[in-house]
Amino acid sequence: MADLPTGFWSGWVLVMTLVSLAGLAWLVLSVHFTPDDEHTGTAEPVWDTDLREGNSAPPFWWFWMLLAAMVFSLVYLMLYPGLGSFSGLLNWSQGSRIMESYGAFEENFDARRAAIATASLTEIQNDPQLVATAERIFKRECAACHGPDGRGQAALFPNLKDIDWQWGGSPELIEQTIRQGRSAMMPAWEQVLGYEDIEFVADYVIALGAGAANNSRGQAVFAQYCAACHGAQGSGNPLLGAPNLTDNSWLYGGSRRAVIASITAGRNGIMPAFSNRLDAAQIRLLVALLAR
């Protein structure tokens, strides 16, 4: 409430709160202290010869209960935010409470987090408690795409448990991937090659993965259009994120139909950057988990 602007809405909340309290006070007093029919001389209405409206006041303990609630409300509104932009005598807010909690957390755990951020990967991997923490971070931040066991899913997200890393599998490159993210740049070749040449290239690439490639029209097209990224032998280039085509590991599927689809339409997978979401200790834990 204290974060409300000091203009119209702050005044609106203030007026509505005070009017509501005043209306409640009037209602309680009118119910409990209105004179009955004997003092006013007003005849009690009767319907159907014997049906009377009645004018009995509610139990008086209701009055004290409601009065106590109204007093409590007034005291609360004086101490805490509630009257428009008035912050209360205690100057309390959810934002300040969060900042206090965050400050206490930093004070208690900063040293421990700094130690984790600079620890060796072997030290982390040999600590069951740190490994369990890393697994929880992975399940919270990474499992939605890579699966709860890290083995990829949906023929879209790579398996992180094998040795095939598109952008390099060293601890340094894994950390770079987590921090900065990755953007794949496999162009669509339909307009350049035409469907017939795409079929030849797909057959050649599949043969590469099976270790049975030979000279063919597909090899010639591959050398002209694909070798610049994937290498003359199809072994890939981690600097460009061009995958190795000779290891029979296929992110988007290794069937002829899937390979043709990849060449025809291209692939533009995106790995988001986590540098603004995870701190240095959390990233170090993930690197240790994935580099095992």
Tell me, yes or no, whether 138 lies in a domain: yes
284 and 152 share a domain? yes
Looking at residues 104-110, what average pLDDT do you find? Answer: 85
Q: What is the pTM of this model?
A: 0.66
In 3-state terms the chain splits into helix, strand, coil percentages (rounded to 5) of 55, 5, 40
* Domain at 261, CATH number: 1.10.760.10
Direct distance between the N- and C-terminal alpha carbons of the chain, in angstroms, rounded to an integer:
50
Tell me, yes or no, whether 38 lies in a domain: no
Q: What is the pLDDT of residue 58?
A: 74
The whole-angstrom separation of Cα 285 and Cα 292 is 11
Q: What is the pLDDT of residue 115?
A: 93
Position 24 confidence tier, pLDDT thresholds 50, 70, 90: confident
Q: pLDDT averaged over the chain?
A: 87
Per-residue pLDDT of 235-264, as tens digits, reads 999 988 899 998 888 889 889 999 999 999
Q: What is the pLDDT of residue 63?
A: 84
pLDDT for 215 beyond 80: no
Q: How many domains does the chain have?
A: 3
239 and 286 share a domain? no
The whole-angstrom separation of Cα 125 and Cα 132 is 10
Give the residue numbers spanning the domain of 13. 1-33+54-92
3 state SS of 37? helix
64 and 118 share a domain? no
Q: Which of 81, 71, 79 is nearest to 21 (CA)?
A: 71
Q: What is the pLDDT of residue 29?
A: 82
The whole-angstrom separation of Cα 184 and Cα 186 is 6
Tell me, yes or no, whether 205 lies in a domain: yes
Looking at residues 122-129, what average pLDDT do you find? Answer: 95
Per-residue pLDDT of 172-184, as tens digits, reads 999 999 999 999 8
207 and 81 share a domain? no
